[in-house]
């Protein structure tokens, strides 16, 4: 037994990131995931290395964009425009607990994979649908990607420094992953509800809705007082003890202490500027507020040592105020706090070798989970799955010759 969802079966018919990432999370938790891809073209994520540049390519022609959200899955090729392909899908759904898709309702209907059809095939199925904009409204059918969700949700205008008026784009498909996580929360809740009702149901999540939910506090402030939280200004922060400073090695250190008066003396002593403690220009939170002169002084102070030197210095003094190194993504795996909690782990990938990978962010004492299978090759498990469904080799040859897979 592996993972808290061991015994749960998922059929995924989705492509690119948000749908496959949701199924990946379920697979990480121990569910058996069968990914359904169309013949010839397959999941667009397989070929997106060319769009993002050669840096996204892996050995054996693999793509990071595909590999990351598709681990822990079996892969089946099915032509859902073919009646026989739809019949096979329905057999898979009969045995499944969850059907997960990010195709539009119109496409799903044409392919016999819509909610009304599959709920008749299996009344206990959890039909999980994710989209860009949501299933209703005048733009429900429009193409949408991670950056669209960032723009439409208000996210791009809420991040960055106040002195930069341009929208800020966060890389790395954050909203794809947020939409995936939201959908998985819905799937888990629906599975729990099914234990009581014995009925399946359709659940929906979108990148737009998930991006808005991520900003719940900011959006509520905007709704209830007519304007959002003010953007941070590094030069004139509301609280210089809640600001980031460039250190002598060009790396950054964050101070994140909201109790400015309580820890003002401790900070001044830690950085060797005891003279600032009672300085009438800085000796209260109100006087430090938006004080560019103090920021300039602290800039000079922190430029006197490297970032890690400051972190080590504060740790040696057992400083109680909140602070953190500002890490790059490539530094995470070497961070002791990350390693100790196994947020990034070593994984023996059968093709890529011993690699580091992001682990599920939740740990389980009795049912540990995580990556167990690499992303599948195109159609790798088609024959294996069809054999499990009772098809003979002769029948599979006929299906292949007729274009079903």
Q: What string of DSSP letters covers 12-68? A: EE--TTHHHHHHHHHHHTT-EEEEEE-TTT--GGGGTHHHH-GGGB-GGG-BHHHHG
Question: Which residues belong to CATH 3.30.1540.10 in the chain?
Answer: 244-333
What pLDDT was estimated at residue 54? 52
> Please, is 197 exposed, middle or buried when counting C-beta atoms within 10 Å of its C-beta (0-12, 13-18, 19+)?
exposed
Q: Which residues pair with 131 in a beta bridge?
A: 206
Q: Output the pTM of the full model.
A: 0.93
- Whether CATH 3.30.1540.10 fits 244-333: yes
Residues 274-297, buried b or exposed e (16+ Cβ, 10 A)?
Answer: eebeeeeebeebeebeebeebbeb
What local confidence, expressed as pLDDT, does residue 78 receive?
98
Task: Please report the pLDDT score of residue 57 as a whole number.
Answer: 72
pLDDT value, residue 52: 55
Residues contacting residue 389 through CB under 8 Å, at least 6 positions apart: 88, 91, 92
9-217+375-401 CATH, one of 1.20.1260.10, 3.40.50.150, 3.20.20.150, 3.40.50.10540: 3.40.50.10540
CA 250 from chain centre, in angstroms, equals 29
**Residue ranges, CATH 3.40.50.10540, the chain:** 9-217+375-401
Q: Of 145, 95, 150, which Cα lies nearest the Cα of 118?
A: 95
From first to last of its 405 residues, the chain has per-residue pLDDT tens of 479 999 999 999 999 899 999 999 999 999 999 999 999 989 988 876 555 555 667 777 778 889 999 999 999 999 999 999 999 999 999 999 999 999 999 999 999 999 999 999 999 999 999 999 999 999 998 999 999 999 999 999 999 999 898 999 999 899 999 999 999 999 999 999 999 999 999 999 999 999 999 999 999 999 999 988 889 999 999 999 999 999 999 999 999 999 999 999 999 999 999 999 999 999 999 999 999 999 999 999 999 999 999 999 999 999 999 999 999 999 999 999 999 999 999 999 888 889 999 999 999 999 999 888 899 999 999 999 999 999 999 999 999 999 999
Per-residue model confidence (pLDDT) at position 47: 76
| 45 contacts 69 by C-beta, under 8 angstroms | yes
Structure tokens at 384: 């294996």
């Amino acid at each position: 037994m592996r993972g808290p969802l061991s015994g749960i079966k998922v059929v995924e018919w989705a492509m690119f990131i948000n749908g496959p990432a949701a199924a990946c999370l379920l697979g990480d938790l121990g569910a058996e995931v069968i990914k359904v891809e169309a013949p010839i073209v397959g999941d667009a994520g397989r070929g997106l290395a060319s769009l993002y540049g050669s840096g996204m390519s892996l050995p054996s022609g693999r793509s990071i964009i595909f590999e990351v959200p598709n681990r822990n899955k079996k892969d089946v090729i099915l032509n859902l425009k073919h009646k026989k392909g739809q019949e096979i899908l329905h057999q898979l759904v009969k045995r499944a607990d969850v059907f997960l898709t990010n195709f539009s309702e119109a496409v799903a209907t044409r392919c016999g994979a819509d909610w009304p059809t599959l709920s008749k095939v299996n009344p206990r199925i959890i039909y999980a649908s994710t989209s860009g904009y949501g299933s209703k409204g005048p733009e429900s059918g429009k193409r949408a990607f991670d950056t669209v969700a960032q723009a439409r949700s208000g996210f791009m205008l809420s991040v960055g420094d106040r002195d930069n008026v341009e929208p800020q784009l966060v890389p790395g498909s954050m909203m794809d992953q947020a939409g995936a996580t939201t959908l998985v929360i819905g799937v888990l809740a629906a599975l729990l509800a099914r234990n009581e009702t014995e009925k399946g149901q359709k659940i929906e999540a979108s990148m737009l809705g998930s991006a808005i939910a991520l900003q719940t506090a900011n959006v509520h402030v905007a709704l209830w007082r007519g304007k959002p939280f003010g953007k941070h200004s590094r030069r004139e922060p509301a609280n210089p003890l809640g600001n980031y400073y460039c250190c002598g090695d060009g790396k950054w250190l964050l101070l994140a202490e909201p109790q400015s008066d309580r820890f003002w003396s401790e900070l001044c002593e830690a950085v060797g500027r005891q003279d600032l403690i009672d300085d009438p220009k800085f000796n209260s939170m109100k006087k430090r507020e938006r004080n560019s002169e103090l920021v300039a002084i602290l800039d000079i102070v922190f430029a006197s040592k490297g970032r890690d030197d400051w972190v080590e210095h504060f740790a040696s003094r057992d400083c109680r105020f909140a602070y953190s190194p500002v890490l790059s993504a490539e530094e995470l795996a070497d961070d002791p706090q990350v390693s100790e909690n196994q947020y990034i782990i070593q994984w023996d990938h059968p093709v890529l070798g011993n690699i580091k990978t992001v682990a599920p962010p939740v740990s389980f004492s009795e049912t540990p989970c995580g990556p167990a299978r690499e992303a599948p090759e195109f159609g790798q498990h088609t024959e294996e799955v069809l054999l499990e469904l009772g098809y003979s080799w002769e029948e599979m040859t006929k299906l292949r010759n007729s274009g079903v897979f």
